């Protein structure tokens, strides 16, 4: 066996980085090794290395077959998304895939891990696809607002037919090895050493170009149903309709025409605002766990967890921990309250069983790991304790004083506070270094966002533990500094305040909500407030009243609604009226309360367009986010975007408030903030960072890169 070192890219300068592709010989079989950590993304170097290797080996008389290998646990996980923001650089992926397809010798793909997106397209161009049990296969491009652009749709449809191809591509479905085998995307699943088996099978492999196969004749009704289902779940993603169009067009049988149609659609979608927003969020998720100061910090071992407080939030947190595989101790003030908590958790699992998300056996297994208790002594061996009690400083500090006496040394002490000062809570213990904020969002077992709040003295390994916990629970962590409301609720409070200013100045609640829904929110802010309960925000406002700046404009309409017994959906009346089925409608009583509030201040109501409402509310979110960045409360603009997309319903296709502000232009945002400041007074001042970036012609993204 001999090794051929990687060659420099064609036309590359002498200092260019070596191509991360190498070749080894095993008799007449040549193995093309891809080694581009961490996931073999299709960077320019990988693309160049692959095309060079395939073309050189095709002309080598001593080679009978090729094997493509990504190494142990890998294949090719997809495109290098960072390169999509750069000028196009040859060779393009269709050239690489075309070279594999055109190779006169059999090419075997050895999939020991993820073959997603472009990686799947490369595998589909091979003549034989072998996978280990760890193989994952899928064309996932629609998750990023694009479609496959290197023949993926055209080869897949020739394997599985139109209806199945529409479902797989439009859902961005990732298939495990057994599923991929059943559908024909894998030819075999290998139990032993995958590369050894691939080398052994390669000489006998036959050329089987999917590009040469006909598209299977399908049932038109099934194809129409698949398209209708995909369009129904599209949620405004233009790529879904384009994927359906391109796949359906393949039925004419012309592979070359299908490739051209697919490529044109891919290129158009790649530059769309939706695709840019989704790529931004994809990269943001990977940046969010890179926290300064955690280099070398090792997460503490967590084998058992506890939750204090078995109300709605506590029950949801307990379910999230049980779902992650932890045994959970559920502590309440007495046995009756603890059993009520168990009943809440049982009900949450019963809903999952009813919706076929889990079966009865899995429900029973998880409930078997739940231990209700009314004595804090039960917490003595817990590695992680999450406090989920009432949002009151006195209540929380009392709990943490008690924890100091019973929790074992090294236990992570977490609080689910939404607004309160984390340093003050940590100061109630003799071990503030062990205290961290874990701000879950309701329902805690469903919502993806987990705000990880760092107190002044939180130890690095405690923060690392919180991030590891988020990953195990399938949550999206965002690290926040300590302030009133942290990242999300601090911005949300300003957003809600300015929505109320719009109402007091003349917009109806339903007009504000309609504008937000037209922007892409699933629900407007007043409908969300009704769903959450107006009493929650009311209590927060009362708590803050003494410290409120007298120069900040205050709207009392929401207070009047609460004091009239209108708490939202739970009382069938809040900003809206609700019927027996929960359907909302404008309420004349609310209209009267709003009119009286305007009259009391001498406000002459005026009308607002949807665009004006959208601009005002986006501007105030981005402006407050800029203040958080300057103060170090948020590490990055992209962290703010992740928080709002995953926790507050900001539309994914807009990429989050900071990304959306960049797309609109920061000078436009700054101009609107000056108007908002005149409207709202203290607390609405333009952020210095926003003003600076707007003056320099830069964006929040530029600031993050710097």
Write out the catalytic residue numbers.
Answer: 121, 141
Give Cα 485 to chain centroid, integer Å: 21
| 236 HSE (CA, 13 A, CB side) | 16
CA distance 205 to 127: 8
What is the 8-class DSSP label of residue 295?
T
Those residues whose C-beta lies under 8 Å from the C-beta of residue 46, and which sit 6 or more positions away, are 19, 20, 21, 34, 36, 40, 76, 80
Contact 700, 636 (CB under 8 A): no
The span from the CA of 62 to the CA of 294, in Å, is 51
**β-strands 65-69, 29-34: how paired?**
parallel
Give the strand order in the sheet containing 328-331: 370-373, 328-331, 305-308, 384-387, 412-415, 435-440, 449-453, 476-480
For 221-250, letters b (16+ CB in 10 Å) and e give eebeebbeebeeebeebbbbebbbebbbbb
Distance of CA 488 to the CA centre of its chain: 15
From the list 536, 531, 538, 533, the residue with the least C-alpha distance to 513 is: 531
CA nearest neighbour of 635 among 463, 422, 520, 420: 463
Residues 6+ positions from 292 with CB-CB distance below 8 Å: 635
For residues 166 and 215, give the distance between their C-alpha atoms in angstroms, rounded to a whole number: 13
Round to whole Å and give the CA distance between 132 and 189. 5
What is each CA distance from 477 to 290, 319, 321, 514, in whole angstroms? 11, 18, 15, 30
- Taking the C-alpha atoms of residue 467 and residue 632, their distance in angstroms, rounded to an integer, is 19
Other C-beta atoms closer than 10 Å to the C-beta of 54 total 24
Which tokens is 612 given? 């004006």
Query: Half-sphere exposure (CA, 13 Å, Cβ side) for 451?
Result: 33
The 3-state secondary structure of 333-344 reads CCHHHHHHHHHH
User: Are 625 and 617 a contacting pair, CB within 8 Å?
Assistant: no
DSSP 143: G
The whole-angstrom separation of Cα 485 and Cα 665 is: 27
| C-beta of residue 333 within 8 angstroms of C-beta of residue 456 | no
Residues ≥6 apart with Cβ < 8 Å to 420: 391, 393, 396
Q: How far is it, in rounded angstroms, from Cα 523 to Cα 529?
A: 10
């Amino acid at each position: 066996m001999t090794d051929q070192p990687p060659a420099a890219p064609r036309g590359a300068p002498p200092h260019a980085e070596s191509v991360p592709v190498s070749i080894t010989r095993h008799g007449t079989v040549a193995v093309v090794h891809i080694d581009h950590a961490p996931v073999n993304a299709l960077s320019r170097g990988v693309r160049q290395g692959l095309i060079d290797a395939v073309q050189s080996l095709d002309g080598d008389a001593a080679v009978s077959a090729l094997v493509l290998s990504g190494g142990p646990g890998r294949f090719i996980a997809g495109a290098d998304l960072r390169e999509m923001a750069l000028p196009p650089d040859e060779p393009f992926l269709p050239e690489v895939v075309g070279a594999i397809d055109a190779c006169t010798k059999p090419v075997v793909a050895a999939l020991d891990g993820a073959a997603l997106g472009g990686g799947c397209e490369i595998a589909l161009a091979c003549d034989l696809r072998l996978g280990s049990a760890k193989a994952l296969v899928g064309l996932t491009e629609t998750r990023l607002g694009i479609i496959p652009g290197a023949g993926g749709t055209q080869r897949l449809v020739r394997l599985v037919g139109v209806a199945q191809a529409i479902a797989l591509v439009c859902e961005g479905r990732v298939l495990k090895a057994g599923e991929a085998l059943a559908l024909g995307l894998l030819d075999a699943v290998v139990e032993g050493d995958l590369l050894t088996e691939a080398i052994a099978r390669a000489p006998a492999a036959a050329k089987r170009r999917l590009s040469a196969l006909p598209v299977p004749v399908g049932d038109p009704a099934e194809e129409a149903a698949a398209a209708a289902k995909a369009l129904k779940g599209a949620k405004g993603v233009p790529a879904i309709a384009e994927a359906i169009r391109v796949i359906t067009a393949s039925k004419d049988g012309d592979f070359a025409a299908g490739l051209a149609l697919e490529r044109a659609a891919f290129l158009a979608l790649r530059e769309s605002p939706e695709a840019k927003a989704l790529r931004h969020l994809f990269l943001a998720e990977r940046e969010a766990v890179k926290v300064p100061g955690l280099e070398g910090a090792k997460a503490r071992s967590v084998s058992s967890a506890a939750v204090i407080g078995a109300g709605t939030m506590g029950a949801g947190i307990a379910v999230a921990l049980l779902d992650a595989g932890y045994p959970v101790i559920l502590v309440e003030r007495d046995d009756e309250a603890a059993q009520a908590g168990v009943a809440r958790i049982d009900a949450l699992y019963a809903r999952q069983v009813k919706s076929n998300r889990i079966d009865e056996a899995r429900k029973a297994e998880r409930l078997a790991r739940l231990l209700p208790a009314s004595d804090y002594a039960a917490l003595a061996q817990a590695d992680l304790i999450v406090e989920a009690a009432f949002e009151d400083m006195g209540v929380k500090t009392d709990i943490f004083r008690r924890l100091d006496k019973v929790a074992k040394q090294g236990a992570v002490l977490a609080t689910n506070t939404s607004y309160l000062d984390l340093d003050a809570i940590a100061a109630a213990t003799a071990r503030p270094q062990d205290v961290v904020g874990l701000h879950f969002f309701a329902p805690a077992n469903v919502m993806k966002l987990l705000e990880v709040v760092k107190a002044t003295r939180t130890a690095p390994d405690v923060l690392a533990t919180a991030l590891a916990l988020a990953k195990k629970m399938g949550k999206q962590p965002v690290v926040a500094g300590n302030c009133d409301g942290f990242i999300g609720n601090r911005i949300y409070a300003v957003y809600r305040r300015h929505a109320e200013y719009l109402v007091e100045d003349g917009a109806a609640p339903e007009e504000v909500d309609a504008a937000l829904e037209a922007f892409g929110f699933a629900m407007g802010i007043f409908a969300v407030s009704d769903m959450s309960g107006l009493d929650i925000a009311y209590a927060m406002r009362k708590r803050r009243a003494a410290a409120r700046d007298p120069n900040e404009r205050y709207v009392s309409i929401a207070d009047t609604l609460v004091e009239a017994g209108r708490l939202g959906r739970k009382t069938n009346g809040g900003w809206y009226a609700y019927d027996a089925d929960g359907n909302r409608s404008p309420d004349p009583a609310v209209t009267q309360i709003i009119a009286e509030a305007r009259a009391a201040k001498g406000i002459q109501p005026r009308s607002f367009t949807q665009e004006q409402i959208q601009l005002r509310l986006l501007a105030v979110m981005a402006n407050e986010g800029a203040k958080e960045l300057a103060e170090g409360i948020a590490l990055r603009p992209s962290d703010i975007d992740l928080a709002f997309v995953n926790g507050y319903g900001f539309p994914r296709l807009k990429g989050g408030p900071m990304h959306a502000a960049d797309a609109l232009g920061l000078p436009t945002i700054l101009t609107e903030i000056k108007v908002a400041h005149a409207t709202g007074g203290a607390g609405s001042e333009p952020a210095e960072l926003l003003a600076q970036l707007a003056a320099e012609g830069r964006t929040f993204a530029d600031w993050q890169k710097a």
